[in-house]
Copies of this chain bind each other. A is one copy, B any other.
């Protein structure tokens, strides 16, 4: 289990993930070919006709890139974190080639489990931002954390 306990989290605590993730054309194509093979992610001619007017990264790619950024943060220093769910995930802006993503999180809820006295839940609002500080993606992670 994680080396961090429920009692170590406070509502309002913020975690800034270090580093950045550049959405290169090669990364967009490689992810989409494997996991989301739609023309809007792979074919410039198809994509030009669609809602965003050009190729955009798969939303699942932006999500996965956000995880990569967060794994580099101190949230994961003490060991693995078990995520049990995600709520209120919103795709706010398309992500395009050349965009550079960063991530940060804020603790929005800390609560003991009702059924297991040795554990609890931490809810974090995770925000993914573009190079111009515009939010492209927000989501609330629920993490399972041991109690002391």
The reply on A134 being an interface residue by CB < 8 A is no
Interface segment out of the listed A10-18, A33-41, A98-106, A120-128 = A33-41
Mark A53-68 against chain B: 1 for CB-CB distance below 8 A, else 0.
0000011100111011
Number of copies: 2
What chain B residues lie within 8 Å of A67 (beta carbons)?
35-36, 58, 60
Cβ–Cβ < 8 Å partners of A139 in chain B: 86
List of B residues within 8 angstroms of A34 by Cβ = 64, 68
Instruction: Report chain B residues within 8 Å CB of A74.
Output: none
Chain A contact residues: over half helix, strand or loop, or mixed? mixed
Most chain B Cβ neighbours within 10 Å, of A79, A85, A88, A91: A85
Q: Which of A58, A89, A90 has the most CB of B within 10 A?
A: A89
Interchain CA distance A83-B89 in the complex, whole Å: 10
CB <8 Å contact, A88 and B91: no
In this assembly, does A48 line the interface, its C-beta being within 8 Å of a C-beta of chain B?
A: no
A58 to chain B, nearest CB (A): 7
Other contacts beyond A46-B80, A85-B90, A86-B89: 4, CB < 8 A: A38-B76, A38-B80, A58-B67, A85-B89
Which chain A residues have a beta carbon within 8 Å of chain B's beta carbons? 1, 31, 34-40, 46, 50-51, 58-60, 63-65, 67-68, 71, 76, 79-80, 82-91, 139
